[in-house]
Amino acid sequence: MLAPVLLLVRLYHALGVGGLVLGVILVAAATLVDLRVRRAVVCRRSGGCTPTEPARLDDQDMAVATARMPRRDGWNVVDLSRRKGQPRL
58 and 86 both lie in a single domain: yes
78 and 38 both lie in a single domain: no
**Is residue 63 within 8 Å of residue 88, measured between CB atoms?**
yes
Higher pLDDT, 33 or 40: 33
9 and 41 both lie in a single domain: yes
> What is the pTM (predicted TM-score) of this model?
0.46
Give the pLDDT confidence score for residue 62 in this predicted structure: 79
2 and 41 both lie in a single domain: yes
Exposure string (b/e) for 37-62, b if CB count within 10 Å is 16 or more? eeeeeeeeeeeeeeeeeeeeeeeeee
Kindly indicate the confidence band of residue 29, based on its pLDDT and cuts at 50, 70 and 90.
very high
Instruction: Please give the residue range of the domain that contains residue 14.
Output: 1-45
